[in-house]
Chain A
Amino acid sequence: MTQDKHANRCSPDVRPGRLDAATIEKNFGDIRPPLSPAAALVEADRCYFCHDAPCTNACPTGIDVPAFIQKIRSHNLPGSAHTILRENILGGMCARVCPTEVLCEEACVRNGSEGGPVRIGLLQRYATDPVYEQGLPVFERAPETGKRVAVVGGGPAGLSAAHRLAMLGHAVEMFCRDAKLGGLNEYGIAAYKTVNDFAQREVDFILGIGGIDVRTGMSLGQDVSLAELQQRFDAVLLAVGLGDTNELGVPGEDLDGVQNAVDYIAQLRQAGDKSELPVGRRVVVIGGGMTAIDIAVQNRRLGAERVDIVYRRGPDQMSASGHEQELAKSEGIVLHHWARPVAFRGDNWLREVEFERTRQEADGRLSGTGETWTLDADVVFRAVGQTLSDDDGTSAGSMLRAGGKIRVDARRRTSIPGVWAAGDCVAGHDDLTVTAVQDGKLAAIDIDRWLRANEEDADPWQT
């Protein structure tokens, strides 16, 4: 089925308006609609209020899940929201984008007793939605400390840190390369996971605490240097995410039609009218993570006729969860495993991709079998991971790296005293919104401790 070929295709079939605007709007509606009050109460009643709850332990930000569910049950939604947001200030976004099936909900003891977890993500959304809808203040700032902290990056890690620091009384200045804050919440997350401009409403809520001065369109490395920040501020936090994308290093990669998934997604997220986006008829996605699934599903929902995902290893090695793989399949997307691209072909514009079958050797290495096959394609999306950009100013000076990312200790301190790093740009971080939030929180807590102790830490690596 993957071998079928269409001969004589001369012009690429890439165009806007494959589906009418109304259908596209429907396709990009809320993928997991919110619970009604009655449904939320029934769902909340399913929580066993476990001791040392497995769900709380599975949540990277450590939200006290049984406690917030108990407050839903007792009709105390503001209290419930407070319980969530005090651990995770982006609890609203996380309720929408967390892969709960491998986090809190996977840990729910109900899986064992009846094969289905308490729907914690949806309950979390139910408890927090009123905060953004009614603009309720949840936290107050402590008295000003007179300390100033620079936060570079306006994604989940930066926002989480900025909020915590502001709450603790420090003055925060946030530098952000993009025109809008939110990082990948605004430019990366699949559109149907965060509808109705939710990312910006959440940003507004976070900034509502006060004490956070925002400078958008300011790039570290271009508009401001690390040395300058170190001089002007008492502490600096780097939360710049991953600015560069990996290339495949395959002949023909520079043909028109071969694109970065994240760039297209950013375009899609910012598009006023999605029916004006160019969409290929036959789309091939290379990669095995969340980005691969997202670009594939969104292209299908924009009207691409056929979408194939090709991943070089097996289903179990995909970083996209089983739930997400199922979502792709339910959209009619074909998942191919154990194959890698070896050539992109076409005249100016891409026409087809040649793949070689792969297998895993006994030592774990991947090797090609020499056997090849091809897929017709108008568009290929690269979704094979992002890396720290070299010109973002974090490579300046003596900052140590590990695996191409910034090296930090458990407190999120870099090798440069007075400089912390958090989120995707940090080595060893699993790239999720919720872990970025936790990272930012931990960094902020340590910065606060450091500022208060006025600690002259000669050796930032000592614990």
Chain B
Amino acid sequence: MADLSSNFLGIRSPNPFWLASAPPTDKAYNVNRAFEAGWGGAVWKTLGEDPPIVNVSGPRYGAIHSNERRVIGFNNIELITDRPLALNLEELRQVKKDWPDRALLASVMLPMNEQAWATCIPMIEDTGIDGFELNFGCPHGMSERGMGAAVGQVPDYIRMATEWAKKFARVPVIVKLTPNVANILPPAIAAAAGGADAVSLINTINSIMRVDYDTLTMYPATDGLGSHGGYCGPAVKPIALHMVAEIARHPETRGLPISGIGGITDWRDAVDFLALGASNLQVCTAAMVYGFRIIDDLTDGLARFLDAKGMTSISELVGRAVPSVTDWKFLNLNYVEKAHIDQELCIKCGRCHIVCEDASHQAITDMVDGKRRFEVIDAECVGCNLCTSVCPVEGCISMRPLREGEDPRTGRPVTAEKLNWTAHPNNPMRKQTD
């Protein structure tokens, strides 16, 4: 089977799956269990200066469930490590000694003064760790103290702190970005400018899960009061993928190594991140929700996928989909697709009809010759993909390109010639070609 071994910034691990800095990497006990289960690496729960922070003793976590009680989204108000620095360092040293073939990194969060970095970075590095991750992402609690996302939202701070870290560290430095920004590029550019060897993203997203329907207070709450927490799990993957792809394709950040994080649960999520430009992967929620044994499906599924694609290593997959990501204005406006319903597969639930009728272009019948039958009316279909999205039968509705003739909706001939918005006649700002 394909070789999953990974070399990220010179840090080697038997597979690209690392545990993200979070409760699963809180202490040696957990990390040892993770390595026994087969995880490639771990980023230790974020270290800070002594005295350690204090966590609430009420609920730290909240979840959104599917009807099957599968966790779709997860939120937390946990802070960084609540254990003394010396204890963490002692355990880091031992774990690295016991597991020389695994990647072991320390996540750190330090205040914005150089002295703190000058003291802590060498002391932590001395444990033998393979690299640092700078936590500029924690969106709750720590940010109120001017750290975490409070740094990550100001590119100048990112750059300054990254420079300090690089000044005192000899091992690679990864900057972990917060998604709680309007545009992910300035923070990534600042990290690169500060000398970061790589960026990792995303950390969690500001969120409130819901209210308690009895007390009408926010939920979860600590003694009647709640505070926004960080959102993660499967629900955040699309947000993370977008940010990863932006960094992978932007001229100023292209080539900056990326560790992809956010909602990775099975091997297909890993394929998404790798193809969109990440060359390393981190997982938190899935390990918290299912335990470390999901690594079996992650590695087995990824290796088989690479085999099926004729690839021998993950590097062949990294970035493969990046060239397909572009700005809206470059999409071909001459290209036409129509939905097509396979009548053999149709179970006649009518969901495509009602959504198209109510929310799109009235392009699906519910009755043909007096019989319940769902057919696409090409003269109305704009090719929006709504019916495909709601159809419960996979493969029943497909989008088919119109290759020739004319589009019955617009009456315009189908052409192989491409036309995007920059040159479209309706665009007052269009570039004049010729």
Contact = CB atoms under 8 A, between A and B. Distances in A.
A76 B68 contact: no
A74 B267 contact: yes
B3 interface: no
Interface string B89-119: 0000000000000000000000000000000
Contacts of B267: 74, 76
Closest 4 CB pairs of A and B: A74-B266, A76-B301, A79-B300, A70-B297
B412 interface: no
Interface in B333-384: none
Interface of A: 37-38, 45-46, 48-49, 51, 67, 70-71, 73-76, 78-79, 82-83
Contacts, number: 39
Chain B interface mostly: helix
Interface residues of B, number: 17
Contacts of A73: 266
B294 interface: yes
B291 A78 contact: no
Contact of A76 (B70, B291, B304): B304
Contacts of B268: 74-75
A79 B70 contact: no
B212 interface: no
A227 B274 CA distance: 61
Given A51-B291, A70-B294, A46 B68 contact: yes
A140 B420 CA distance: 53
B296 interface: yes
A38 B301 contact: no
A400 B296 CA distance: 44
B320 to A, nearest CB: 19
B394 interface: yes
B297 A45 contact: no
B312 to A, nearest CB: 17
Given A71-B297, A79-B300, A38 B266 contact: no
A49 B290 contact: yes
Contacts of B290: 49
Contacts of B69: 48
B301 A74 contact: yes
B293 interface: yes
B394 A76 contact: no
16 contacts: A45-B70, A46-B68, A48-B69, A49-B291, A67-B296, A70-B266, A70-B297, A71-B297, A74-B268, A74-B301, A75-B268, A76-B267, A76-B301, A79-B297, A79-B304, A82-B300
Contacts of B154: none
B351 to A, nearest CB: 15
B393 interface: yes
A71 B301 contact: yes
A123 to B, nearest CB: 15
Given A45-B68, A76-B304, A78-B304, A67 B266 contact: no
B70 A71 contact: no
Contact of B300 (A37, A46, A49, A76): A76
